[in-house]
Amino acid sequence: MRNFELYVPTKMIFGKGEIKKLSNEVPKDKKVLLLYGGGSIKKNGIYDQVKTALKEHTVIEFSGIEANPEFTTLLKALEVIKNENIGYMLAVGGGSVIDGTKFLSSAALYEGNDPWDILANRIRTVKGLPFGTVLTLPATGSEMNSGAVVSRSETNEKMVMGGPGLFPEFSICDPTVVHSIPKRQLANGIADAYTHVLEQYMTYPADAYLQDRFSEGILQTLIEIAPSVIKDPSDYKAASNFMWCCTMALNGYIQKGVPTDWSVHMIAHELTAFYGIDHARTLAVILPSAYTKKFEHKKEKLAQYAERIFNITEGTIEEKAKEAIKRTEGFYQSLGIDTRLRDYTDDYEGFSKKVAKNLTDHGMTALGEHQDITPEVAAEIVEMSY
């Protein structure tokens, strides 16, 4: 096992009816900016619960943060933060609203001229404007990690950022919010969390037995609850397990002491940047090709995953590993997620070259657990997924 440090300062408040605890978690002596998305929280009752809990606070609102949060929208929120002298932020939404808030947390205290530099120059944020979250969509794990992804559609860019100053101070995760999530987003959430685990697990054996079992436990639980969540999102048993799996998949615990990959995410982000495809769906397109391309490096863990998750006990390591890739693609498809780029667009010829260029421009020239996925290799992976 590798050496590691673990720092996860976010206070997790989990369970039915817990949104009311906001009144104690959000400081009363600061002006609060409440940030949310396109309005789903007004239809499903979450907005009312939040406003009731904050009735003794001074609250200003900023809405309209879109899925795959846009830099230009966030700049408008940044103006509000500066003009209104905001001292605390509350993100109420899914990964997009939370990530947008993380960008603002960094940008509010940034001393440079252009906040885009935080993303372009990959500046690590050590101190940000404090914020908490109310999670409305289990998927990204953003509620308990310090990463964020921001898009700039006019230049076809989708960039990652982070730093120890960007953990939410607290996150309230009430699984009853799952009842109003559309099927498409439920499938996305399950697929995203599943892939987060794979990015931290599907590398090479590293004598990290507990981390492997943690990861396998999350994968098995996601497979177990997926049909129930999609069939009836108001099933609390399924929803609560779904929500906690998504958080545990990307709150730092399973990645400690082991090599991690993340190339699937970095390549897949380009599919959202160019075509606007939902994040989770881009992962389902790229992952099978990426694992096929890097088969030799990943086959031992693929075979372990085949045995422990899918009970495939017959055959050689190679046979089990190949079957594991097929079953993973099958799992995405069982959620109603298409796994080829041509299922989403007809305009894919030449796309691989654009991906290679964007990755080069953004300095992502050595991806994967062996840092051997160059932009050329990434382009091959993209072509294999057409």
Pick one of 22, 107, 144, 148: the residue that binds ligand NZQ (CB under 6 A): 148
33: left (phi over 0), alpha (psi -120 to 50) or beta: beta
Pick one of 265, 293, 299, 320: the residue that binds ligand NZQ (CB under 6 A): 265
Question: Please, which residue, 135 or 303, has the CB nearer to ligand NZQ?
Answer: 135
**Lookup: tokens for 112:** 């440079």
185 binds, among ligand NZQ, Zn ion, none (CB under 5 to 8 A by kind): ligand NZQ
- The 3-state DSSP class for residue 246 equals helix
Q: In angstroms, give the least distance from the CB of 102 to ligand NZQ.
A: 7
- Spell out a b/e string for 309-338, using b for 16 or more CB atoms within 10 Å of the CB, else e: bbebeeeeeeebbbbbbebbbebbeebebe
Q: In angstroms, give the least distance from the CB of 311 to Zn ion.
A: 27
Pick one of 10, 125, 140, 255: the residue that binds ligand NZQ (CB under 6 A): 140
How many residues touch ligand NZQ under the rule CB under 6 A: the total is 33
**Lookup: tokens for 224:** 């177990």
Rounded alpha-carbon distances, angstroms, from residue 214 to 11, 209, 217, 375, 385: 21, 9, 5, 32, 30
Q: In angstroms, give the least distance from the CB of 337 to ligand NZQ.
A: 13
Using the contact rule CB under 6 A, the part of the chain among 140-148, 228-236, 299-307, 340-348 near ligand NZQ is 140-148
Q: In angstroms, give the least distance from the CB of 66 to ligand NZQ.
A: 7
Pick one of 10, 101, 105, 185: the residue that binds ligand NZQ (CB under 6 A): 185
Q: DSSP string of 355-368?
A: HHHHHHHTT--SBT
Pick one of 15, 27, 38, 259: the residue that binds ligand NZQ (CB under 6 A): 38
Pick one of 33, 34, 70, 96: the residue that binds ligand NZQ (CB under 6 A): 96
- Whose tokens are 């190679």? That residue is 318
Which residues on neighbouring strands pair with residue 295, listed in sequence order? none
Rg (CA), the chain: 20
Question: Please, which residue, 265 or 293, has the CB nearer to ligand NZQ?
Answer: 265
Pick one of 23, 25, 31, 44: the residue that binds ligand NZQ (CB under 6 A): 44
Q: Rule CB under 6 A: is residue 279 a binding residue for ligand NZQ? A: yes
128: left (phi over 0), alpha (psi -120 to 50) or beta: beta
Question: Please, which residue, 149 or 373, has the CB nearer to ligand NZQ?
Answer: 149
Angle at 247 between CA 245 and CA 250, to 5 degrees: 105
68: left (phi over 0), alpha (psi -120 to 50) or beta: left
Q: In angstroms, give the least distance from the CB of 37 to ligand NZQ.
A: 2
Task: Let me know if 126 is exposed, middle or buried by CB neighbors in 10 A (0-12, 13-18, 19+).
Answer: exposed
Nearest residue to Zn ion, scored by beta-carbon proximity = 192
Q: In angstroms, give the least distance from the CB of 172 to ligand NZQ.
A: 13
Q: In angstroms, give the least distance from the CB of 332 to ligand NZQ.
A: 15
The angle that helices 375-384 and 351-361 make with each other, rounded to 10 degrees, is 150
- What is the spatial distance between Cα 115 and Cα 119, in angstroms, rounded to a whole number? 8
CB neighbours of 252 closer than 8 A, spacing ≥ 6? Answer: 6, 7, 8, 144, 145
Q: Rule CB under 6 A: is residue 68 a binding residue for ligand NZQ? A: yes
Are 132 and 35 in contact by the 8 Å Cβ rule? The answer is no
Q: What is the CA 135 to chain-centroid distance, rounded?
A: 13
Q: DSSP string of 181-215?
A: --HHHHHHHHHHHHHHHHHHHSS---S-HHHHHHH
Q: In angstroms, give the least distance from the CB of 42 to ligand NZQ.
A: 8
For 307, which DSSP code? H
Q: Rule CB under 6 A: is residue 67 a binding residue for ligand NZQ? A: yes
Pick one of 139, 218, 303, 325: the residue that binds ligand NZQ (CB under 6 A): 139
44 binds, among ligand NZQ, Zn ion, none (CB under 5 to 8 A by kind): ligand NZQ
Using the contact rule CB under 6 A, the part of the chain among 118-126, 180-188, 339-347, 355-363 near ligand NZQ is 180-188
Question: Please, which residue, 181 or 226, has the CB nearer to ligand NZQ?
Answer: 181
Question: Please, which residue, 88 or 167, has the CB nearer to Zn ion?
Answer: 167
- By CB under 6 A, name the binding residues for ligand NZQ: 37-41, 44, 67-68, 93-97, 99, 136-137, 139-142, 145, 147-149, 177, 180-181, 185, 188, 192, 250, 265, 279
